[in-house]
């Protein structure tokens, strides 16, 4: 070949270099064509308004994807020029494309309720009559005793504020439940007026089983745990009732994750997890069947793990696959936001003052040495995440633990910052706390549904009524975090575009469902410290790019830059130009993870079935009709 090329070169001197160039190219392209074919994109998304969500907030028309990774973003002409004969194309018809949503705190370890009827609770409707409530609870337990085998768990879920108060005030007791159910473990779990689990009580049989399974739990009195139904109900259902059911759990959690998240454009979450769901996710990951990207951490260590556990437990932060990896260890019982935040600000609502006095609650759970020592070990020997810091005093106590670790170990500020510690909910954050939060590199995670609670008279987080209007500026102060150089994200996002609208407008609306919440059925809206609002580009980063850093995957997720995973969503309207008050109405028309479609609304139009991740995603509907726990 080379002698022929040399001869052609000599001839080209007299015949013209143009002919030689054509000849040489034809020789060289023949052996290289298989290599070029191998490099052609698998998919090109084009004819869109693609928000890259890099730091400069640039836009493109098209992107090329090879395997699960973006290899090029640019104009239609630039990207389509890369197409080969095998390249598939997705025309988004001028629609807006953004990175898929990343929610670093979402509690997505549930299952479809119909798959495990033995774990379903007996739900009792809300009532204001406490005599009626107690009668209903005890009769429900008696009936379950007659229907269940000895030793099987009985779960009763009375709903509403009055049932919540009965548990907190000791107006229904363990002895009363023991009398009607001496041989069956019973969990009384008030399910809240909003449907979120909160207050809890066990009979003697139930408590004995938990203490046997988790020795550290014996350190807590009923007063310590009665406000924490969120964590304890999960322990009982997932790691006791469904213990050893990992293989059954795997397909159920898969369907639950698919139907709960993908139609909303959420493809990556971080959450606390228990043994059974984690083993189920390991099964899915090994089989290549994970429907989303999942950052997990062990939580509730104060209940589960004896002192010294975290000194021996390996640091799993960052360890795993593209779909399932560890993000650290956490302890949500630093505070119970469903009961009330631990604050330096005095309550001014007389009814709430009386409520806490009667319930004999210590809202500052970090003052409990068991919880405090657990968190100290988590931070010192690993990465601490998802610490509930709704109240400013809890934030002080957490910062104090970090400073104590430094005094005892000599750990530097930079070593602490490298841990990427996180704090959640942020109901009241003082401005004087900002320098210390920045010093230690805390990631501050704002929770959208807490805005709703400011308008719900039945919730202790109602700042205006319970503390005073002047403290609204302390509530999830996203703008102040950014002005002080502190990383801030959204977490427990709920529906993503409603959340984005909240942080852009700082206007929240609430429609009471119970009389104690206000005028039933009458929507009430209010602006909450509008000076803490952020622009819509910043809000989008808080739900995509910056949470990827929280989840230790900032090099892989959160933006549509070349070299990152091709996780994207297509919207039905342009997030960047619609009126602010219309942001919350935005719908996701198509969701893709790793360049494969996992949800497509019929309104998007026809989508080639070959573009879907697998057959089971083709008919995924919105909204989900499947319940979960």
Q: Is residue 271 part of a domain?
A: yes
Q: Are residues 19 and 138 in the same domain?
A: no
Q: What's the confidence (pLDDT) of residue 500?
A: 98
Q: Are residues 234 and 303 in the same domain?
A: no
Q: Mind giving me the DSSP string for 317-350?
A: BT-B-SSEEEEEEE-GGG-BTTTB---SSPP--H
Q: Is residue 582 part of a domain?
A: no
Which residue has better confidence, 331 or 579? 579
619: its two tokens = 């008919």
Lowest mean pLDDT segment, chosen from 24-28, 276-280, 374-378: 24-28
Task: For residue 451, give the CATH number of its domain.
Answer: 3.20.20.140
Q: What's the confidence (pLDDT) of residue 300?
A: 78
Q: Are residues 298 and 232 in the same domain?
A: no
Residue-range definition of the domain harbouring residue 2: 1-38
Mean pLDDT rounded to a whole number for the chain: 89
Cα 524 to Cα 544: distance, rounded to the nearest angstrom: 30
Q: How would residue 21 be classed by pLDDT, with cut points 50, 70 and 90?
A: very low
Q: Mind giving me the DSSP string for 190-226?
A: ---TTS----EEE-HHHHHHHHHH-GGGGG--HHHHT
CB-based contact 174:191 (threshold 8 Å)? no
pLDDT at 107 over 90: no
Q: Are residues 235 and 253 in the same domain?
A: no
Q: What's the confidence (pLDDT) of residue 29?
A: 38
Reply yes or no: is the peptide bond before residue 326 cis, omega within 30 of 0: no
- Mean pLDDT confidence for 177-182: 97
Q: What's the confidence (pLDDT) of residue 337?
A: 61
Q: How would residue 4 be classed by pLDDT, with cut points 50, 70 and 90?
A: very low
337: its two tokens = 């936001």
Per residue in 264-310, pLDDT tens? 999 999 999 999 999 999 999 999 999 999 999 987 778 888 788 89
Q: Is residue 581 part of a domain?
A: no
Residue after which a domain boundary falls, among 531, 560, 589: 560
Q: What's the confidence (pLDDT) of residue 623?
A: 61
Q: What's the confidence (pLDDT) of residue 351?
A: 86
Q: How would residue 30 be classed by pLDDT, with cut points 50, 70 and 90?
A: very low
- Mean pLDDT confidence for 503-509: 95
Which residue has better confidence, 242 or 199? 242
Per residue in 112-150, pLDDT tens? 989 998 888 999 998 989 999 999 999 999 999 999 998
Q: What's the confidence (pLDDT) of residue 595?
A: 98
What percent of the chain lies above the pLDDT cut of 90? 71
pLDDT at 185 over 60: yes
- Mean pLDDT confidence for 171-189: 96
Q: What angle do CA 168, 466, 388 make, to 5 degrees?
A: 65
- Mean pLDDT confidence for 431-448: 97
Q: What's the confidence (pLDDT) of residue 264?
A: 97
Q: What's the confidence (pLDDT) of residue 339?
A: 77
pLDDT at 15 over 70: no
pLDDT at 28 over 50: no
Q: Are residues 395 and 504 in the same domain?
A: yes
Q: What's the confidence (pLDDT) of residue 203?
A: 96
Q: Is residue 72 part of a domain?
A: no
pLDDT at 11 over 80: no
Cα 105 to Cα 1: distance, rounded to the nearest angstrom: 62
Q: What's the confidence (pLDDT) of residue 338?
A: 67
- Mean pLDDT confidence for 25-35: 36
Q: What's the confidence (pLDDT) of residue 38?
A: 52
- Name the β-bridge partners of 599: 591
- Mean pLDDT confidence for 570-576: 98
Residue after which a domain boundary falls, among 560, 576, 596: 560
Q: What's the confidence (pLDDT) of residue 308?
A: 86
Which residue has better confidence, 453 or 281? 281
pLDDT at 407 over 50: yes
Q: Is residue 58 part of a domain?
A: no
Q: Are residues 524 and 413 in the same domain?
A: yes
Q: Are residues 413 and 432 in the same domain?
A: yes
Cα 24 to Cα 32: distance, rounded to the nearest angstrom: 13
Q: Is residue 553 part of a domain?
A: yes
Q: What's the confidence (pLDDT) of residue 629?
A: 45
Q: Are residues 297 and 217 in the same domain?
A: no
- Mean pLDDT confidence for 374-399: 95
Q: Are residues 543 and 411 in the same domain?
A: yes
- Mean pLDDT confidence for 204-210: 95
pLDDT at 567 over 60: yes
CB-based contact 134:171 (threshold 8 Å)? yes
Q: How would residue 361 be classed by pLDDT, with cut points 50, 70 and 90?
A: confident
Per residue in 46-105, pLDDT tens? 999 999 999 999 999 999 999 999 999 999 999 999 999 999 999 999 999 999 999 999
Q: Are residues 234 and 285 in the same domain?
A: no
Cα 107 to Cα 109: distance, rounded to the nearest angstrom: 6
Q: Are residues 223 and 335 in the same domain?
A: no
- Name the β-bridge partners of 569: 98, 591
- Name the β-bridge partners of 551: none
pLDDT at 544 over 50: yes
Q: What's the confidence (pLDDT) of residue 346?
A: 93
Residue after which a domain boundary falls, among 528, 560, 592: 560
CB-based contact 44:30 (threshold 8 Å)? no
Q: What's the confidence (pLDDT) of residue 14?
A: 40
266: its two tokens = 């959420």
Count of structural domains, the chain: 3
- Mean pLDDT confidence for 608-628: 80
Which secondary-structure segment (H or E) carries 124?
strand 122-124
Q: What's the confidence (pLDDT) of residue 12?
A: 37
Which residue has better confidence, 245 or 464? 245
Number of helices followed by number of strands (H, E) in the chain: 24, 25
Q: Is residue 389 part of a domain?
A: yes
Q: How would residue 202 be classed by pLDDT, with cut points 50, 70 and 90?
A: very high
Q: Are residues 356 and 429 in the same domain?
A: yes
Cα 620 to Cα 609: distance, rounded to the nearest angstrom: 13
Q: Is residue 594 part of a domain?
A: no
């Amino acid at each position: 070949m080379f002698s022929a090329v040399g001869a052609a070169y000599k001839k080209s001197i007299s015949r013209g270099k143009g002919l030689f160039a054509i000849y040489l190219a034809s020789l060289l392209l023949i052996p290289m064509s298989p290599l070029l074919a191998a490099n052609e994109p698998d998919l090109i998304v084009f004819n869109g308004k693609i928000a890259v969500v890099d730091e400069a907030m640039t836009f493109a028309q098209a992107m090329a994807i090879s395997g699960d990774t973006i290899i090029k973003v640019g104009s239609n002409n630039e990207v389509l020029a890369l197409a080969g004969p095998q390249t598939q194309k997705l025309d988004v018809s001028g629609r807006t494309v953004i990175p898929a949503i990343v929610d670093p705190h979402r509690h997505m370890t549930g299952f479809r309720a119909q798959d495990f009827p033995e774990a379903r609770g007996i739900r009792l409707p809300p009532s204001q009559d406490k005599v009626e409530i107690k009668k209903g609870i005890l009769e429900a337990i008696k009936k379950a005793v007659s229907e269940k085998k000895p030793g099987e768990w009985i779960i009763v879920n009375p709903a509403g504020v009055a049932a919540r108060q009965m548990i907190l005030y000791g107006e229904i007791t363990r002895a009363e439940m023991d009398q009607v159910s001496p041989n069956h473990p019973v969990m009384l779990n008030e399910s809240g007026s909003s449907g979120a689990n909160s207050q809890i009580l066990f009979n003697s049989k139930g408590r004995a089983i938990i203490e046997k399974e988790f020795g550290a739990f014996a350190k807590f009195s009923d007063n310590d745990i009665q406000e924490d139904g969120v964590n304890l109900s999960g322990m009982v259902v997932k790691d006791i009732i469904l213990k050893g059911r990992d293989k059954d759990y795997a397909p159920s959690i898969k369907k639950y994750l698919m139907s709960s998240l993908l139609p909303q454009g959420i493809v990556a979450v971080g959450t606390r997890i228990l043994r059974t769901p984690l083993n189920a996710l390991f099964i899915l990951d090994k089989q290549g069947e994970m429907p989303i990207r999942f950052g997990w951490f062990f939580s509730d260590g104060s209940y589960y793990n004896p002192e010294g556990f975290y000194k021996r437990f390996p640091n799993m932060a960052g360890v795993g696959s593209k779909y399932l990896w560890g993000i650290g260890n956490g302890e949500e019982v630093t505070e119970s936001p469903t009961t009330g935040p631990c604050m330096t600000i005095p309550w001014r609502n007389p009814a709430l003052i009386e409520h806490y006095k009667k319930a004999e609650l210590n809202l500052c759970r970090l003052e409990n040495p068991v919880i405090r020592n657990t968190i100290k070990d988590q931070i010192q020997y690993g990465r601490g995440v998802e610490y509930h810091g709704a109240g400013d005093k809890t934030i002080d106590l957490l910062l104090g633990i970090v400073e104590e670790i430094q005094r005892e170990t000599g750990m530097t500020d930079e070593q602490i910052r490298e841990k990427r510690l996180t704090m959640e909910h942020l109901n009241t954050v003082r401005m004087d706390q900002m320098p210390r939060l920045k010093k230690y590199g805390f990631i501050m995670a704002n929770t959208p549904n807490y805005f709703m609670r400011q308008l719900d008279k039945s919730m202790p987080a109602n700042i205006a009524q319970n503390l005073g209007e002047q403290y609204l500026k302390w509530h999830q102060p996203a703008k102040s975090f950014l002005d002080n150089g502190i990383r801030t994200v959204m977490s427990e996002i709920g529906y993503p575009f409603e959340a984005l609208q909240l942080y852009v407008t700082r206007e929240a609306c609430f429609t009471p469902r119970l009389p104690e919440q206000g005028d039933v059925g009458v929507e009430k809206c209010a602006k909450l410290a509008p000076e803490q609002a952020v622009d819509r580009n910043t809000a989008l980063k808080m739900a995509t790019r910056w949470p990827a850093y929280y989840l230790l995957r900032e090099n892989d997720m959160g933006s549509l830059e070349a070299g990152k995973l091709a996780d994207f969503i297509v919207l039905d309207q342009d997030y960047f130009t619609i009126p602010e008050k219309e942001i919350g109405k935005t719908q996701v028309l198509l969701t893709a993870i790793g360049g494969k479609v996992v949800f497509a609304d019929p309104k998007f139009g026809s989508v080639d079935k070959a573009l879907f991740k697998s057959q089971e995603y083709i008919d995924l509907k919105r909204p989900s009709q499947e319940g979960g726990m």
